Chain A
Amino acid sequence: MITSLGSLGTVKSTQAGTGLEAIERLAIEPVDLMVLDLNMPDMHGMEVINFVRRHQSYRDIPIVVLTTKGEEATRTQALAAGANHYLTKPFDPRQLADVVGSLLKAS
């Protein structure tokens, strides 16, 4: 998972190792933005996006998706399903910081 998030300074981050955990986080604490790796052991990232976007309260949470190089098709799908942005692994942690920053500012 992403440990570099810690360096974002004013942003508090919490980690989830699986899709179900990620959704659980939404339930128990206020979440302003999600960074999602599409390949997770229990639930594919796409399903997480679909679930989140269908839910009243979480419909507008910005979602940043991480894809591996060459997965253009999934990237398009993720965006179509409602993700706001994507980054291709491997990526520069500062890129992620920038994206997160601008999405949070906008929302």
Chain B
Amino acid sequence: MDKQNPDNAGEFFDQFLDDYYAECDEHLVLIRRALVMLEHEVDAPVDRSLLDNLFRSFHTLKGISGMVGLTAAEQLAHHLESYLRELREGTLGLSEAGFEALVAGVSLLENVINARRNDQPIPSIAEVTERLQAVPTVSPSEPSAPERDPIAKRWQLEFTPTADLAARGVNVNSVRARLQEIGELLQAKPIVKGAGEIAFQFVLETDAGQTTLKNLEADGLVFEPLEEDAAAHKPQQPLATIAPSTVVRVDLDRLDELMRIIGELVISRTRLEDQLTELKRVTPAGVWRPLQETSLGIARQLRDLRESVMRVRMVQIGEIFERMTFVVRDLARENGKKIIVQLSGGETEIDKFLVERMMDPLMHLVRNAVSHGLETAAEREAQGKRGEGLLSLSATTAGERIVIKIADDGRGIDRHLVLERANASGLSQGRSGIDDAELLDLICSPGLSTRDAADRESGRGVGMDVVKKAIEELGGHISLETKLGEGTTFTIELPLTLAIAEALIVSVNGQRFAVPQSSVREVFEVESASTKVLENNEIISYRGKVLPLLRLARVFEMNYQRGERFHVLVIGEESNAVGLAVDRILGQREIVVRAIKDPLAQSKGIAGATELGDQRVVLILDIGALRQLAVTSRH
């Protein structure tokens, strides 16, 4: 558990820590994004809002790290924050050395947090801290910016806009800009005052004195100190950020729970539909039709609800892209190459599940491009190319698919070389020419596939063959375009809608099946001896009532042996519940639902298929159809 703070053991603190890590992750994403943009501004005028965002993130990380007692992170964040502050106030812009120091600082910060997360020794922050402090931010001739008084006060200000003020050029934007010059704007929001007037409320943290603030009164600003204790020695609260102001962090578990409930709603509504159909016979059309319309309306709304929840699982692919940018920088430096990374479509959204599965394959492609695809500056210039190599990562959506491209303008793949190797290892029959598609197949053959040192070191089994497999398993497709001397482009297409469900894995007569969790009300174990036979149907007693049993083995016409005990899954609603009898319940898994498209393999009672990670196909049961079978088999 928590070795460094033995006094803080306990569940509460663990949850606290989880929240801390989650929040750190979020901020690190924002920080990486800002750094990627900042890189373009080295030795150039810097976008102030970027600096502000970075400052805020470091400030927050400092505060929350202090709260959980991770001193190394707190101090590192403090130094990063100080450097940012000096950047904002200093006269020299961002230098290369400064940027490198920032990047090093952020990497180290990440490592420190992960070290704590994995109970590993915390790396030393001394060296990086020195680097940060050594970066000059003012020209030597000017006096350095005065050390800011760490104790700042918070003020609440109110600005009421009027036509006169606006005519003078005083409006909410100008006010906000002025406030940001004298301190840190923690909040800005519109409010409605007593008489229905619109005003804007700001919360400002500044060490500027009252006189400075009084100057603002002329512009229609009213101010008063904010009650909160802003003394620097107390750990500071995570600060409210101005934008985006509507972000909520959600546990994936809760989303899955939501999806499960929605699944149940869908089933209930289907039952409603069945009941309505029965009602039709005995109800006047004028009464029945509105009922039916309401039911259909609910079906539509459920569909929208389901889609909305699925959208919540979406993250921007830009997160992966930005992470890759850092990998590229490090690799480029190690290999002595100069590489420019071009990102586009970072705001394209992709299901979090896909992100996790695609991280390694995409990293592999990117590393390949840097290590093998792109040449050194010297080689490139000798060819008449620009010294810096270009690596472009892009994402777009095309209908129901997302298209990701990883392109470099490097050497291209030498297909003759690949063909030689393939012929030598017997993978191809002595052919002399191949097109891009065949080339891709070859380089993705396990025999030819290369794992680079980094993959091997990390123990990851990622080679092109694994990349291709991972993509195809997600129902996607990878293709290749390459020209010798000009470069290579990999295009990956993935379906955006991945049907994912929670399922119970059961065993019947030695064969595994998946049962959608949302269809199962309850599960319990039963002794074979306790079943009875009533009018040719097997039943058991359940909650004081009779539950008819449906033996899957019988429905599927398998020979089966009755064990001493077996498991029952209760499906259906209260009044027409049925118990599905299986041999054993093996576990519970999140599965990717794949449809069985070909009629040859379709069968009543089977809704689709999935694979549990071991490449073995497991059929998914169609609970609705099975219930119907149960009903018909009874009559």
What is the interface of chain A, defined by CB distance below 8 A to chain B? 17-18, 20-21, 23-24, 26-29, 41-44, 46-47, 51, 54-57, 70, 73, 76
Contacts and interface: CB of A to CB of B under 8 A. Distances in A.
B196 A57 contact: yes
A21 B171 contact: yes
Interface string B173-210: 10010000000000011101000111110000000000
Contact of B176 (A20, A44, A51, A70): A20
Nearest to A57: B196
A56 B196 contact: yes
A18 B244 CA distance: 13
B245 interface: yes
A44 B173 contact: no
Contacts of B307: 73
Given A70-B397, A73-B307, A73-B308, A41 B243 contact: yes
A42 B244 CA distance: 7
A20 B172 contact: yes
Contacts of B144: none
Contacts, number: 61
Contacts of A41: 243
Contacts of B165: 28
Contacts of B198: 23-24, 26-27, 55
B455 to A, nearest CB: 36
A32 B242 CA distance: 28
The 8 closest A-B pairs by CB, nearest first: A27-B198, A28-B163, A24-B161, A23-B190, A24-B172, A20-B172, A27-B161, A28-B161
B294 to A, nearest CB: 18
B342 interface: no
Nearest to B190: A23
B51 to A, nearest CB: 16
Nearest to A43: B245
B311 interface: yes
A43 to B, nearest CB: 7
A9 to B, nearest CB: 25
Contacts of A20: 172-173, 176, 188, 190, 200
A26 B244 CA distance: 23
Contacts of A56: 196
Contacts of B245: 43-44, 47
Contact of B244 (A44, A70, A73): A44
In this complex, the member of B172, B192, B199 whose beta carbon has the largest number of chain A beta carbons within 10 angstroms is: B172
Contacts of A26: 198
A35 to B, nearest CB: 18
A41 B172 CA distance: 14
Interface in B225-245: 242-245
Given A17-B173, A20-B176, A20-B200, A42 B246 contact: no
B163 A46 contact: no
